[in-house]
Structure 1
Amino acid sequence: MVYIPPLNFAPVVSTAVSLYRSGYPMPLNYPFIADRLHLKTVIYVGDKDISDDYKNFLDAQDINYEFVYVKSCRDANINEQMDQVLLKVLDKKNYPILIHSNKGKHRVGVVVGIIRKLLQGWSTTGIYQEYGIFSGGLKGEVDLEFITMFDTELVVRKDGVPDFVKAREGDDGAY
């Protein structure tokens, strides 16, 4: 069987827990997702309803589906929307996870940039380079500024946080 990953598919974290990014999966990608990724959770960061065939596929595979409405990082509720994604990512019970947007460029690029910055301690330069690779070199100045300025006040139990997450300063048992 030939396995075809979704557009802009790549691992974000591939340790004991696996976190992936991509564009919107199409039916030709379903065997790859089912047979290779063994997902527990899919987080769709987008602005459209998913198709019935995709919903049926996720249900048949017993994959938890989370829709986080994001039109752009200019949305009025964008901080809350990013916190919603981070809450799922910060809970190791949700892994393996695929986070996708429509094309796997800008919206998922913002989410991955925030994960790289806050959870993994990446430099701004590295985040910008990765964003550029997946956006096809298109500058997303507003997106990059949002990533740079974003911070969160989330508090979660440390014992549920995946191992790849870097401890924050003043870590007191909660993230």
Structure 2
Amino acid sequence: MSAKYVPPANFAPVEQHLYRSAAPRPINFPFLKLLDIKTIIWLNVEDPSDELLDFIDAHDINLEHLGLLTKKVKPWDPISDKVVQEALTILMNIQIYPVLICCSMGRHRTGAVIGCLRKLQGWSFASLVDEYQRFTGIAGERSNVELLVENFSLVPLKQLLKIKANSNEPVPQWFDLHSDLE
């Protein structure tokens, strides 16, 4: 009997060795093993399931639980700029890849982080909103996510990229280091 590989809901590659999805379930674990995931950026306010925590421990995966950065937040509250900033800063560390970014359904919180990454990469606002809306499905878009992405300040991230470039510290190649880093 051959193994079955089932990706998590809303799974998609974002860039080389960077993936997005809904919270993985046990049926998805063989698929994640194929990707050799080393880090999971968890954007939910709630803790991961016990099964996922066991999988993470068994496979020496680093869990970045960014949902804990926000106190007294309800699961349906929008993601904060602080959480997005932290997620993108973590993504600049080339040593943690391959990475999976996820939230409960892989839509809004994950979409906000990916949208801000795309903004940092110089994507047009229309293109990044189109990508975001492809993952919202029948749930529809949330205008507060689009507003967060539109108003998200790239200045601290560009400064960090400039520092890394000046110190020859490697970052994933798909970060646009040739853009205006001022």
**TM-score under structure 2 length normalisation:** 0.84
Aligned match of 1:66: 64
Moved more, 22-31 or 153-162: 153-162
The Cα of 1:121 is off from its aligned counterpart by 1.3
Give, in whole Å, the separation in 2 of the partners of 1:61 and 1:165. Answer: 28
Identity of aligned residues (%): 35
Alignment check: 8 A CA contact 2:81 2:148 kept = no
Aligned match of 1:21: 20
Give, in whole Å, the separation in 2 of the partners of 1:170 and 1:91. Answer: 18
Give, in whole Å, the separation in 2 of the partners of 1:135 and 1:46. Answer: 16
SS at match of 1:128: helix
Where in structure 1 do 4 or more consecutive aligned residues deviate above 6 Å? Answer: none
Deviations 1:88-116 (A, max 9, x none): 11111111000000000111010110111
SS at match of 2:66: strand
The Cα of 1:151 is off from its aligned counterpart by 1.3
Tell me whether 1:43 sits opposite 2:53 in the alignment: no
Aligned match of 1:161: 171
Could you tell me which amino acid in structure 1 is paired with residue 92 of structure 2? L
Deviations 1:7-46 (A, max 9, x none): 00000002xxx10000000000001001x21011000111
Pairwise CA RMSD: 1.6
Aligned match of 2:125: 124
Give, in whole Å, the separation in 2 of the partners of 1:30 and 1:73. Answer: 28
The Cα of 1:72 is off from its aligned counterpart by 5.9
Give, in whole Å, the separation in 2 of the partners of 1:101 and 1:37. Answer: 18
Moved more, 66-75 or 108-117: 66-75
Give, in whole Å, the separation in 1 of the partners of 2:134 and 2:181. Answer: 34
Give the aligned length.
Answer: 164
Could you tell me which amino acid in structure 2 is paired with residue 24 of structure 1? A
SS at match of 2:111: helix
Could you tell me which amino acid in structure 1 is paired with residue 146 of structure 2? L
The Cα of 1:73 is off from its aligned counterpart by 6.6
Alignment check: 8 A CA contact 1:72 1:107 kept = no
**TM-score under structure 1 length normalisation:** 0.87
Q: Which runs of 5+ in 1 are unaligned?
A: none
Give, in whole Å, the separation in 2 of the partners of 1:122 and 1:52. Answer: 37
Give, in whole Å, the separation in 2 of the partners of 1:124 and 1:79. Answer: 17
Alignment check: 8 A CA contact 1:132 1:139 kept = yes
Alignment check: 8 A CA contact 2:18 2:97 kept = yes
SS at match of 1:65: strand
Alignment check: 8 A CA contact 1:73 1:146 kept = no
Moved more, 21-30 or 87-96: 87-96
Distance 1:39 1:64, change over 3 A: same
Alignment check: 8 A CA contact 2:78 2:109 kept = no
The one of 10, 13, 17 equivalent to 1:11 is: 13
Give, in whole Å, the separation in 1 of the partners of 2:13 and 2:99. Answer: 10
